[in-house]
């Protein structure tokens, strides 16, 4: 892995801006270390949370003897534990991601997002797991918070080349089954799949207690459809060619696209996920810092 | 429905162009690799049908545009008799205005020609906007005033208003033919001929031919499809007197001697005419002689003799005039005559010896000078008699005419001298006799030099036997010399007895087969037929002047150069016949002499419309001659003509003899004046009109209208002119299609 390639994936501007903002788990995530993230597990750790009346069967070790001495009542001490969280980065590596009208393809951009996020998460000593998928998982890096992880991530990202179609929903369901510790699931994809199924997958992940962030990566041309003249569209995922005059269907195309995005956004909101629209023509740092600032605002209590 | 440019219909094939472009365009696209196919697919599913319909609509519009354009260029046209919506179609018309002499018939207020002009103007007014009209003046020829149909109808109106009546005779056929020819190659849905004429029967002589060509042209589907309208302008005039002929009776026209002229007056009307005063005047001066015809029954002709005298030698005009009636053109007639001062005759006697009565020239001299011996000096014919032996030393140019009487033969040099003499305009009259060398006459004079108009055959009869004789023809004299005796009142030639005469075998004219090829063309072009002087040859055709009772030629003549040769078949003395002692001998000789001397002046009087031509001396070559034509206007009509070399000699030609009357010709240098006269066709005076059957049968091929002062020609013409050309609405449709195409294409290509 040469330096240049790594630089390509790691946007220094994005990272430097994002670092200051930090990637806090929006919700309580269980973890090993008392880190910056609050653990949802109450018990025996460092930070006192509350008292609870003793109930038969409770471990007597947690009985607050001081309160018993003073008041003759049985209270159990409860603690909050700051946990280390695991960020599962799900990167869509299907063929449709190969499209790009500008400098980057959607996949390039998605890889950059993945790399930057990985770097930041690892930097704050949280763990990440990387999963590149199309119809099934193609490349998987198990969770790790070691500093060498970033190199593995970058290498894996750089080496990946898409070949097949998308089937996000299946992958999401698989992931929901696999994740045993709750954490953040970051989905980076154009989500060109049945949006209902995608939303079901997200819902499944949410039911597992995971926080889900969706980076919806779309190209500028896909968003604006600026074509004129007679154009033959060659589908990227084995879809037959279509010959048409795009300017005559632009409006309905944009309408369809908007409907698709709206469905996804609303579905995400319903499931309390973050939906981040990404336009590949925008600088990465804008998107990342924008999102992280938003995130900071919503998680600060 | 028909097309005026049917070939351009092939342009309709251009409809394949948009289709081909459409198909080609389908192959010309930009490939784009695309991820978000599902949205395109979805939009396409929504829009596919609409786009297909739009495409089809656009294609149809473009094809329709080209189709309509091709159609418009092919100029479709439809004739219709009922569809008033389309209005009147444009017309290409030819107006034929009869300007023959009979159109000058007045009703007291206006002439038929005035009415015809008004009717023609109405016809022009009735033409729908955008029409074109040509105007011809039709008499016996069609004169183009506007030869090709013009869209400038004001011009047409103007020329109609200014059209001039002529004195020509009428013949409808050439006019109709010319009009059809003009229309033949015109592209127009409606072609019409308007003929404004009086219904004079004379003009419709070729009724069958007129009907034939009109029928052919009028057939639907024929190349022309011409509708003919005939407006008959007749006023049922019942009275008309006309001077139908004027001629000099006297064979010679010496100055200062009373000359007898014959004037014929014809009553063309239906009523008897009384007290017709016939006046004769010379050179436009007050009448010198007047004769009264007390009564002239209808449809009859009476000839009267009137006398006039020319004071000077040279060219004069004689005008015979009767009181003006409603047709003025025929109330006078002009004759041009060249008066001569004296005639010098050389009589060559082949038998000079003996008693004066026995000589060959005795009777000839007395016939030429029929006056008392004392007056011979003052008589205008001077004669010199020489014996045949001295003929070779005679100076022929001192004489106007040479008479050879029984001259046996003469040397070759003399023959050449005679030839030159004839060439310059001399006259030669030859009498055979017992002494002549027939071999010399036949070989040298006839064969080698072609001087004689006939060869001499075997003599017949016996001069000694006075009980065996043969006579001359008694009627049907067609040669001008003998024409006098057509009138039984002046005596007869029939009583002359011939005992012996040569058989004359007239020269076969080789040139007669070589008729001028362009006569018909020239006539159509408005030029008159040129007389024989046009022809290049020196030797004219032999004509028989007089025949014997059995039909054999008795006298034969032929023009030679500017002169003339007359050959008698019998002697000038009483040896072979008793002609010299008959009263007819004197007029016969004088007329023969006149014919020989006036060889040049024969053409002084031409028929109106016929060209005038006169051989001029060499010094006139290339000069300008000014011809002053008679005119009703105050300003005389002057035209100038160049004297050009035709057939080896300078020739003055003038073809514009449209009006009857005297024409003055003057050449400045060398100063010369001469006169000629044009005489109208007496048939034009006829009041005879087309019969009702003729009108009816004409009605089968043409739309015949009788003119009356309150007739609305406009209505009559407009009635069957419905139908239209469609190129304009088609072009508008094309424009609409183009605009629609632009709008639709713009609209369809907007993003949706």
Same domain, A78 and A89: no
Is residue A44 scored above 50 in pLDDT?
no
Chain B environment of A246 (Cβ under 8 Å): 40
Tell me if B33 and A237 make a contact (CB, 8 A cut-off). Answer: no
Cα–Cα distance between B334 and B280 in angstroms, integer? 10
ipTM of model: 0.75
B131-145 average pLDDT score: 87
Tell me if A253 and B750 make a contact (CB, 8 A cut-off). Answer: no
Q: In what order do the strands lie in the sheet with A47-53?
A: A37-43, A75-83, A47-53
Is residue B555 scored above 90 in pLDDT?
yes
Find, in chain B, the residue whose alpha carbon is nearest to that of A107. B35
Topology adopted by domain B343-507+542-602: Rossmann fold (3.40.50)
Tell me if A222 and B29 make a contact (CB, 8 A cut-off). Answer: no
Q: What angle do helix axes B37-73 and B16-27 make, rounded to 10 degrees?
A: 160
Residues of the domain holding A73: 37-83
A–B interface: beta-carbon pairs under 8 A: 107
Report chain A residues touching chain B, CB-CB < 8 A.
95-99, 106, 190, 192, 218-219, 222, 227, 229-237, 239, 242-253, 255-257, 260
Interface test with A, best of B21, B40, B50 (most A CBs within 10 A): B40
So what's the pLDDT on residue A33? 38
Tell me if B35 and A234 make a contact (CB, 8 A cut-off). Answer: no
Tell me if B39 and A230 make a contact (CB, 8 A cut-off). Answer: no
- The enclosing H or E element of B210 equals helix B207-218
In this predicted model, what pLDDT tens digit does every residue of B557-600 receive, in sequence order? Answer: 998 888 899 999 998 888 899 888 888 888 888 888 888 887 77
Cα–Cα distance between B541 and B510 in angstroms, integer? 9
Is residue A2 scored above 70 in pLDDT?
no
Higher pLDDT: B517 or B223? It is: B223
B142-164 average pLDDT score: 88
Same domain, A207 and A271: yes
Q: Which of A83, A116, A147 is the last residue of a domain?
A: A83
Same domain, A20 and A158: yes
Chain B environment of A162 (Cβ under 8 Å): none
pLDDT band at residue B250 using 50, 70 and 90 as cut-offs? confident
Q: Is the pTM of this model over 0.90?
A: no
Q: Which of A50, A83, A116 is the last residue of a domain?
A: A83
For residue A232, being part of any structural domain is answered with yes
The full 3-state SS of A122-178, as one line of letters, equals HHCCCEEEEEEECCCEEEEEEEECCCCHHHHHHHHHHHCCCCCCCCHHHHHHHHHHH
Cα–Cα distance between B98 and B112 in angstroms, integer? 10
Q: What angle do helix axes B727-748 and B37-73 make, rounded to 10 degrees?
A: 170
Chain A environment of B26 (Cβ under 8 Å): 230, 243
Cα–Cα distance between A107 and A115 in angstroms, integer? 12
In this predicted model, what pLDDT tens digit does every residue of B419-458 receive, in sequence order? Answer: 888 888 888 999 998 888 888 999 888 888 888 999 998 8
Nearest to B37 among A229, A242, A260 (CB): A242
Same domain, A131 and A247: yes
So what's the pLDDT on residue B486? 82
A81-87 average pLDDT score: 67
Cα–Cα distance between B566 and B597 in angstroms, integer? 11
So what's the pLDDT on residue B524? 41
In this predicted model, what pLDDT tens digit does every residue of A94-108 receive, in sequence order? Answer: 888 888 888 888 888
For residue A301, being part of any structural domain is answered with no
So what's the pLDDT on residue B5? 74
Find, in chain B, the residue whose alpha carbon is nearest to that of A237. B35
Same domain, A20 and A46: no
Q: What is the DSSP letter of A210?
A: -
CA dist B604 → A258, B409, B529 (Å): 110, 36, 14
Largest CA distance in chain A: 87
Cα–Cα distance between B371 and B610 in angstroms, integer? 40
Is residue A301 scored above 70 in pLDDT?
no
In this predicted model, what pLDDT tens digit does every residue of B589-608 receive, in sequence order? Answer: 888 888 888 777 777 888 88
Same domain, A9 and A103: yes
B92-121 average pLDDT score: 87
In this predicted model, what pLDDT tens digit does every residue of B301-340 receive, in sequence order? Answer: 888 889 888 888 888 889 998 988 888 888 889 988 888 8
Nearest to A227 among B32, B38, B752 (CB): B32
So what's the pLDDT on residue B568? 92
Q: Which of A83, A99, A117 is the last residue of a domain?
A: A83
How far away is chain B from the Cα of A221, in angstroms, using its nearest Cα?
A: 10
Same domain, A159 and A70: no
Find, in chain B, the residue whose alpha carbon is nearest to that of A247. B751
Same domain, A194 and A160: yes
Same domain, A111 and A237: yes
Torsion of CA B163, B169, B172, B177, to 10 degrees: -80
How far away is chain A from the Cα of B67, in angstroms, using its nearest Cα?
A: 27
Nearest to B37 among A227, A231, A239 (CB): A239
Residues of chain B within CATH 3.40.50.880 domain(s) are 343-507+542-602
pLDDT band at residue A42 using 50, 70 and 90 as cut-offs? very low
Topology adopted by domain B91-236+689-725: Rossmann fold (3.40.50)
So what's the pLDDT on residue B567? 93
Cα–Cα distance between B591 and B480 in angstroms, integer? 9
Nearest to B749 among A222, A236, A248 (CB): A248
Residue from A77, A80, A105 nearest A91 by CA: A105
Chain B environment of A243 (Cβ under 8 Å): 26, 29
Higher pLDDT: B513 or B147? It is: B147
Instruction: Retrieve residue B81's tokens.
Output: 């008799």
So what's the pLDDT on residue A17? 62
pLDDT band at residue A241 using 50, 70 and 90 as cut-offs? confident
Is residue B188 scored above 80 in pLDDT?
no
CATH code of the domain covering residue A202: 3.40.50.410
Is residue B518 scored above 50 in pLDDT?
no
Same domain, A111 and A160: yes
Q: Do residues B52 and B685 touch, judged by C-beta distance below 8 A?
A: no
In this predicted model, what pLDDT tens digit does every residue of B2-12 receive, in sequence order? Answer: 676 777 788 88
Tell me if A231 and B37 make a contact (CB, 8 A cut-off). Answer: no
So what's the pLDDT on residue B723? 56
How far away is chain A from the Cα of B218, in angstroms, using its nearest Cα?
A: 59
Q: What is the DSSP letter of B394?
A: -
Q: Any residues with CB less than 8 A from the CB of B479 and at least 6 apart, and which?
A: B543, B544, B545, B546, B557
Interface test with A, best of B25, B31, B32, B34 (most A CBs within 10 A): B34
Tokens 């009776």 correspond to what residue?
B249
How far away is chain B from the Cα of A112, in angstroms, using its nearest Cα?
A: 20
Chain A environment of B31 (Cβ under 8 Å): 231-232, 234
- Angle CA(A276)–CA(A31)–CA(A212) in degrees, nearest 5? 20
pLDDT band at residue B193 using 50, 70 and 90 as cut-offs? confident
Same domain, A111 and A72: no
Same domain, A201 and A131: yes
So what's the pLDDT on residue A21? 52
Tally of domains in chain A: 2
């Amino acid at each position: 892995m040469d330096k240049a390639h790594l630089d390509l994936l790691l946007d220094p501007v994005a990272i430097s801006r994002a670092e200051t903002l930090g990637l806090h788990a929006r919700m309580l995530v269980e973890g090993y270390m008392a880190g910056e993230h609050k653990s949802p597990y109450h018990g025996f750790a460092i930070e006192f949370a509350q008292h609870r009346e003793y109930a038969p069967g409770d471990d007597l070790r947690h009985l607050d003897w001081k309160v018993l001495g003073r008041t003759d009542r049985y209270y159990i001490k409860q603690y909050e534990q700051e946990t280390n969280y695991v960020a599962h980065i799900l990167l869509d590596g299907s063929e449709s991601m190969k499209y790009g009208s500008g400098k980057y393809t959607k996949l390039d951009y998605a890889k950059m997002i993945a790399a930057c996020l990985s770097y930041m998460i690892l930097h704050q000593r949280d763990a990440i797991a990387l999963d590149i998928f199309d119809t099934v998982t193609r490349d998987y890096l198990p969770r790790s918070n070691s500093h060498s992880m970033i190199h593995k991530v970058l290498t894996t990202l750089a080496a990946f080349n898409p070949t097949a179609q998308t089937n996000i929903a299946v992958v999401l369901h698989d992931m929901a089954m696999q994740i045993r510790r709750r954490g953040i699931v970051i989905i980076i994809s154009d989500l060109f799949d049945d949006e209902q199924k995608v939303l079901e997958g997200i819902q499944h992940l949410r039911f597992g207690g995971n926080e889900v962030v969706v980076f919806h990566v779309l190209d500028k041309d896909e968003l604006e459809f600026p074509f004129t003249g007679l154009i033959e569209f060659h589908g990227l995922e084995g879809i037959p060619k279509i010959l048409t005059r795009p300017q005559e269907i632009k409006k309905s195309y944009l309408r369809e696209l908007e409907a698709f995005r709206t469905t996804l956004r609303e579905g995400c909101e319903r499931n309390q996920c973050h939906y981040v629209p990404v336009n590949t023509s925008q600088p990465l740092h804008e998107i990342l810092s924008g999102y992280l600032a938003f995130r900071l605002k919503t998680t600060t209590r | 429905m028909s097309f005026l440019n049917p070939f351009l219909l092939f342009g309709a094939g251009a409809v394949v162009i948009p289709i081909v472009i459409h198909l080609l365009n389908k192959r010309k696209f930009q490939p784009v690799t695309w991820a978000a196919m599902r949205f395109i697919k979805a939009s396409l599913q929504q829009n596919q049908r609409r786009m297909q319909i739009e495409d089809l609509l656009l294609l149809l519009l473009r094809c329709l545009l080209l189709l309509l354009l091709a159609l418009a260029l092919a100029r479709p046209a439809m004739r219709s008799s009922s569809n008033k919506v389309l209005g009147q179609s444009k017309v290409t018309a030819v107006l034929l205005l009869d300007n023959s002499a009979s159109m000058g018939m007045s009703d007291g207020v206006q002439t038929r020609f005035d009415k015809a002009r008004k009717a023609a103007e109405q016809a022009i007014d009735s033409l729908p906007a955008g029409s074109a009209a040509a105007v011809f003046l039709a008499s016996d020829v069609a004169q183009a005033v506007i030869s090709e149909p013009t869209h400038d109808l004001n011009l047409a109106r103007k020329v109609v208003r200014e059209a001039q009546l002529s004195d020509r005779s009428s013949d409808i056929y050439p006019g109709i033919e010319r009009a059809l020819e003009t229309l033949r190659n015109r592209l127009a849905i409606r072609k019409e001929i308007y003929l404004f004429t009086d219904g004079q029967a004379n003009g419709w002589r070729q009724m069958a031919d007129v009907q034939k060509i009109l029928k052919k042209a009028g057939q639907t589907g024929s190349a022309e499809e011409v509708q003919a309208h005939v407006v008959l302008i007749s006023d049922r005039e019942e009275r008309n007197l006309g001077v139908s002929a004027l001629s000099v009776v006297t064979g010679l026209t010496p100055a200062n001697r009373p000359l007898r002229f014959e004037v014929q007056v014809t009553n063309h009307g239906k009523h008897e005419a009384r007290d017709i005063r016939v006046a004769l005047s010379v050179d436009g001066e007050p009448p010198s002689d007047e004769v009264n015809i007390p009564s002239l029954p209808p449809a009859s002709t009476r000839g009267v003799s009137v006398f006039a005298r020319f004071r000077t030698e040279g060219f004069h005009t004689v005008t015979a005039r009767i009181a003006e009636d409603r047709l003025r053109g025929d109330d006078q007639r002009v004759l041009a005559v060249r008066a001569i001062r004296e005639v010098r005759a050389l009589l060559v006697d082949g038998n000079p010896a003996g008693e004066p009565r026995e000589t060959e020239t005795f009777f000839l001299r007395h016939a030429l000078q029929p006056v008392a011996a004392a007056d011979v000096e003052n008589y205008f014919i001077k004669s010199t008699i020489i014996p045949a032996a001295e003929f070779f030393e005679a100076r022929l140019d001192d004489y106007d005419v040479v008479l050879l009487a029984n001259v046996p033969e003469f040397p070759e040099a003399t023959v050449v001298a005679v030839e030159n003499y004839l060439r310059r305009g001399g006259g030669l009259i030859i009498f055979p006799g017992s002494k002549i060398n027939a071999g010399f006459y036949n070989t040298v004079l006839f064969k080698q030099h072609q001087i004689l108009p006939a060869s001499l055959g075997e003599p017949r009869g016996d001069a000694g036997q006075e009980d065996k004789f043969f006579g001359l023809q008694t009627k049907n004299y067609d040669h001008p010399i003998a024409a006098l005796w057509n009138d039984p009142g002046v005596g007869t030639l029939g009583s002359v007895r011939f005992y012996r005469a040569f058989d004359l075998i007239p020269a076969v004219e080789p040139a007669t087969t070589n008729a001028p090829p362009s006569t018909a063309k020239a006539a159509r072009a408005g030029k008159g037929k040129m007389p024989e002087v046009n022809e290049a040859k020196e030797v004219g055709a032999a004509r028989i002047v007089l025949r014997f009772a059995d039909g054999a030629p008795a006298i034969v003549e032929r023009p030679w150069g500017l002169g003339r040769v007359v050959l008698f078949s019998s002697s000038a003395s009483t040896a072979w016949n008793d002609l010299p002692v008959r009263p007819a001998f004197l007029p016969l000789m004088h007329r023969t002499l006149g014919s020989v001397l006036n060889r040049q002046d024969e053409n002084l009087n031409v028929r109106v419309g016929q060209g005038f031509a006169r051989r001029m001396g060499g010094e006139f070559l290339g000069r300008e001659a000014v011809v002053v034509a008679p005119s009703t206007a105050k300003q005389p009509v002057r035209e100038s003509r160049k004297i050009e070399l035709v057939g080896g000699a300078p020739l003055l030609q003038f073809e514009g003899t449209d009006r009857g009357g005297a024409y003055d010709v003057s050449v400045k240098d060398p100063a010369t004046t001469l006169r000629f006269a044009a005489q109208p066709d007496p048939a034009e005076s006829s009041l005879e009109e087309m019969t009702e059957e003729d009108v009816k049968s004409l009605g089968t091929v043409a739309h015949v209208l009788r003119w009356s002062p309150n007739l609305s020609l406009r209505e009559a013409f407009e009635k069957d002119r419905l139908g239209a050309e469609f190129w304009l609405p088609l072009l508008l449709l094309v424009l609409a299609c183009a605009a629609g195409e632009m709008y639709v294409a713009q609209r369809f290509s907007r993003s949706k």
